[in-house]
Structure 1
Amino acid sequence: MGERCCAAVLRVLVLQAAWALAGGQVRYSVPEEAKAGTVVGRLAQDLGLEAGEAEARRLRLVAQGRRASVEVSGASGALLVSSRLDREELCGKSAPCALRLEVLLERPLRVFHVQLEVTDINDNAPVFPAARKNLSIAELSALGSRFPLEGASDADIGANAQLTYTLSPSEHFSLDLQKSNERNLVPELVLMKSLDRETVPVHRLVLTATDGGRPSLTGTMELVISVLDANDNAPQFNQSVYKVQLAESASVGTLVTRVNATDPDLGTNSQVTYAASSFIPPSGRDVISVNPNTGEIHLTEALDFEEVSIFDFRIEATDKGTPPLSGHCSVELEVLDVNDNAPEVWVTSLSVPVPEDASVGTVVALLSVSDRDSGENGRVRCWVWPASPFGLEATFAGSYSLVLREALDRERVSEYEVEVRAEDGGAPALRASRGLRVPVSDVNDNAPAFAQAVYTVLARENNAAGAELARLWARDPDEAGNGRVSYSLWDGGVGVGGGGAAGSSPGGGWRPASSYVSVDAESGRLWALQPLDYEELQVLQFEVRAVDAGEPPLSGNATVQLFVLDENDNAPALLPPAGSAPEAGAVAAPEAAAMALAGEGSVSGTLWAWATWGAPAGQVVAKIRAVDADSGYNAWLRYELWEPRGKGPFRVGLYSGEVSTARALDEADGPRQRLLIVVRDHGEPARSATATLSVSLLEAAEAALAAGSSSSSSLSRSAAAAELGPGAASAATNVWLVVAICAVSSLFLLAVVLYGASRWAPRAAVLSGPGPTTLVCASEVGSWSYSQRHSRSLCVTDGAAKSDLMVFSPNFPPPPPAPAAKDTQPEPSALLDTVSVNTLLVFYPYPTFCPSRCAGSAGIQAPFPWPENVECLTSA
């Protein structure tokens, strides 16, 4: 297709050249932008030159003032394009574009004028003055408003420069072309729809200019249309309602929230300020503050959920446009509860004191418990401390009853300090407490009780009438009249009997205890109404009753065992010889009275005994028997040979009273020995009695006769036989000798049997069990027991000296004939068993010690800790 174009162009040029030559001037036409080397025309031929002549005659172009874009080929003489031809550069908008060339031909010199017309091609697109055109249009501009635009230009000419305009599609703008003259069109921008800067702040359109060439070329220009803002938009919040939750513990200055309002306008039209209004409740005005520039809301006062839990207020945002526009939103501030309130406990009713016999379930107090917090923070748990004897029962929400859960005992606890504790369910939990003082009123529910069921009282005999024996005390834990105790003797069924039993009198018969003792009704002191005589009364048992002053009165009993302690007020009394007849009474010896020991004593008559000549040392001649109505040491007798003193033929056993020969008897001792024996007790001061023993010294035959007759006759008859003449005595010697041998043999066998029985008998049987008053003495001469009414040998042994020990096991009176009141009298066997164990009295022969509580009780000593139930008293 290009070749065809070139051929057509050449034909045109040839025709023009032919026309020019015909007119006397050569004319050529060449299109612009032809390539270098393109043959414009056959200049040599058109000038009429022969072939080769153009080179010979030097055919050339005359240089012009501007660079020529064509040249003459020296060989062919053709006019060629030497460089780029730009019509717009050569001629601009002039039409036609003809270049006048001078062709010089030398030899001969000849000048030819050649006109070269450069034809236009559409090689230039339309060009706008600027690639981008900025326009500013107010967003409130009226519809149909026109905005002229600067058109494009095209360097081409003719149809190639005829422009048409088009506008990119837009719903707001259209293009209208106006002719400024016959050749130019002026485009105008027409507003077809109202602008909204907030919707589309900038419109970008493309204006296209198209020339009339073939092919056509186009040029474009971007239209940037900025919509000028108008204050046509009110500020808008991003939320219509702001809901904020804030703990009531938030400190002052805490950021509550930040509201944000936007204004799509520009400049001052979009500058927003904030303000708060419409507070519900009105107190919220003082709680928060709003920053007018940033919209930040801060706390200005502390929150209190218990006062206000929700604050509602409005925030207004106003722009700075003219006129100013505003927008609104609501803020809902919810205050979250914090466990900042401890539970509160109130006592609405208190019923005190509480009787100690109040039944379980009795309501003592009514309480009200509350907590100003809410939810778990306000849920309260209550309990009582200590847990007993009271408890809590919920009556309805927030109300409790303090009730009795266990029986009360005022004597154990007279007053309770009760603490009602409450704890809420917060984290951490808060606690509160309320103390209650609950006194317990007394009820007479306790009988007086003695410290001991059995009181053991020791009193010396011969005490003064009115002496205080003991002080009894019964405890009643009740108070006031219920605990006020009065004491009295209870004589019902308690008496005394004869025969030396406890509470007996020599005359026999029952005597009430009130005849011996009296008790003070208020203090419980036990007084002696008369002097006591141990020989008359050793043990007195009675009961003391303690009665309170309650309604009804209650009582308690205690048994008092009064042991009378022996005084050495009886001197030893000599007993007649064993087996003596009534007529063998003692004969008074006035000289014995003169020889009595200093102090009060008793004097007995003369006793008779015999001994054989030549009797070896140690032979028992006689035995002095004596008894002392006292007991213990006071009744422990010792025998002393007062006359003759020195180395007499006889001696007396210190504790046995046996008179035996100290050496072998001889005729120098005479036919008769008179012995003065003093019997003395161990009392303080000691009392004594004297006995005169007349010992006749006989021959062996006479002694045998005397021994035989002593088994069937009295001492007086033996003494009479001793006065008989020697003849009569010799006649009866054989008879009495046989009798004496039999009697001695019998006595020896009996002694052996008794000694074996006492030797092998169990010792426990001797000392166990209650029995009559028994005195057990151990001394350097052996051990033996003594009673006022009978004696029993325990053991006879020789050994090293040891301290004396006396054990007193008291008897107890038999049960009285009258029935015991209220079944308080124990069984006799049980009473004997109990008292025999609990009332062991031990005496030492030498003063050792007495418990501190019995200081000053002379004569009552114990070598071991004093029993708690034994009281030490001395006579006044």
Structure 2
Amino acid sequence: YVSVILFISAIVDAAVAVTHYSVPEEMAEGSLVASLATDLGLDVKTLNRRKMRVDVVGNKKYLDINKDTGELFILERIDREFLCPLKTATSCFLRLDATIENPIRMFNIEVEITDINDNAPHFRRGTMHLDISESSSVGERFSLNNAADPDVGTNSVRNYHLSSSEHFAIEIQTGRDGTKFADLILKKTLDREQQAVHNLILTAVDGGVPTRTGTASIIVRVLDVNDNAPSFEKDKYVVDVMENSPIGSLVIKLNATDLDEGSNSDVVYSYSLYTSERTQQMFNLNGENGEIRVREMINYEDLKLYEMEVVASDKGPNPLSGQCKLTIQVMDINDNHPEISIKSFQSPIKENEPVDTVIAVVSVSDKDSGDNGVVDLHIPDKMPFKLRESSDNYYELVVSEPLDREKVPEYDITFTVTDRGSPPLSDNETMTLELLDVNDNVPQFPQSFYTIRVKENNAPGALLSSLSAFDPDLHENQYLVYFILEKEIANTSMSMLFSINPENGNLYALKTFDYEMEKEFLFHIEARDSGSPPLSSNVTVHIIIVDQNDNAPVIVSPWRAHGSVVEEKIPRSTDKGSLVAKVIALDTDSVHNSRITYQFLQVTDATLFSLDQYNGEIRTMRMFSYRDPRHQRLVVVAKDNGEPALSATVTIKLSTVETAVKAYSDMTEVPLEYDIFSDLNLYLVIGLGSVSFLLLITILVTIVLKCQKPKASKAAPPCRNSVISERNSTIADSTLVSNDAYWYSLFLAETRKGKLVVRQPVPKGSRYIVSSLPRGTGLTDTSDSAASTLQV
């Protein structure tokens, strides 16, 4: 019981320590490694009292401890390569445990065996056989077996040496794991006839101190056939290939040429022994055409560089070959596209949305890193929108300019995100934004003023014109209704004269117009849309009634009581150029259609009379002779200027009378000589003038009394010098328009002292006033005064 308690107490007091020592391999037997007692701070006396127990773990024949002195020493010579045969191991250890009692202390002892250059390089095969054609090119390479050295670090193989030869040399290659290789290089063309076999010694040298070497024999047999080997354009090719290149894509097409003929020139391509299996798995070499293509997906992050050696061999009985080195550099690409995510998108929107309204929220991202993962979002510059960054990789699409649906009804907004890689990658997404119509446009007429010409005598209900307006808005904002703005003319509403189709703006006449009664109309038409609130605009319409030649001329002088024949008497002694008669015709059409010309339709003697085509005056062209008939028949036609022309005729029968009749009627223009009158004749003339004067006064008084009854016409005030219709157009001298039903014809009786005015009634139906004669016609003061008041 007591022993158990003491053992437990000893275990509790025990302490474990780890002691590390390093010794080189190949130390002599009995060599002291270290003094444990000294390292533990114990003297020999204390060590003997406390006792030491040693347990060697796994390597009992190499290490031991003197229990009395505490010295660690080597029992047997140590071979590191035997203990640690793997060259990949970075360290090699021997371990043992030691225990000291009273109190118990435990020690873990590690002894590291360091490498020394105790092994020489050696070749796996002591003799290497090479068959080389005599036609092998200088510089051609031949693979040699490498030497192995179990030592590590600098003590392993570091170089190769070739025995002296004028034909061959070696070139050292270093593998990825640091292993050294030697290629046999042909320095000078071989000639089998001179030397069929070349014996060479290849020496491998390590890097230890002192150095160790190993040798191998190289037997080169010179072949005397196919003396031209395939050769590449270059000895070394460097090719860049992008990662993620499609499988099957061409990397390079190698081309080796052989100057031989037939099968000796057929080249077959293959990888050399120095091409790793991984490289061969990634790239496929076409043995027939030398194309190297991608076999598996290439990833830059896995491996950035591939090296290979390609051999081109011909198909001769003793194939010749040439090789080239190919370095494939994998180029990193920006192989992750940026992404766009539309978080919200408002469509459609009203066209009157205010500026800075948020339309959409967009987020962007890219799985790449660095510049390849930095992205920029943009939209085309020609749009009335802009992007506003709200937070990291979040953007707001806002309205930057006023919108107008009538100009652009919808927008295809393309969001484009681009990273900053080289080359940059981008992605885009297009959203369609529709605009809702707002009633913001008034109806528009093509013209601001319409002038419409309507021929008189039009049919009621006839289409005058289409006054359609245009509204660029949509739906109810575009539906137009047309109105005639009410306006009264002479107590008559416009809607009684005209009508407009409220749907299409077609304007119609509701009555037949007469130019002689109505000349023009001026009013407004309004177009109103159906929006809320409605918008409207109006246009001015000017209707002009166009005259038609629908009134024939009316002959008002000479006056005819019945029929169309007028009988006149004329002194036979009338002089040349004397006024015989004056035909006056009136036309109620417009100026163009009322322009009248006069012509003889029939004349008994064309050499006796002349007719003025503009004023209708008939004058004598010569004096009457005794041969001229006593009765002359003249037919005069008055024709207007319309299309077609309308006319009226009058027949005048002239009878010539002797001088007595001429003196009595006082119708001649031949001046009377005072010296041929006797006193009696003078008295007769004075008496006749007095009677005529009294008669004229009576007529004038009667006319004045009648003029006081009707109200004077406002449309046509009296005028002394012209005939005026209701449109104020000049007709002819010596006539005024009257509102009563009489025509007055003025017959002129020319005398020495003046002219007489004779009133003759005509049938009712005319609307003309007869004006007085102008003062310049030679009337006496009395007759002039009377004529100036002639108005009924």
Q: Give the alignment's TM-score, normalised by structure 2.
A: 0.46
Larger radius of gyration: 1
Q: Give the alignment's TM-score, normalised by structure 1.
A: 0.42
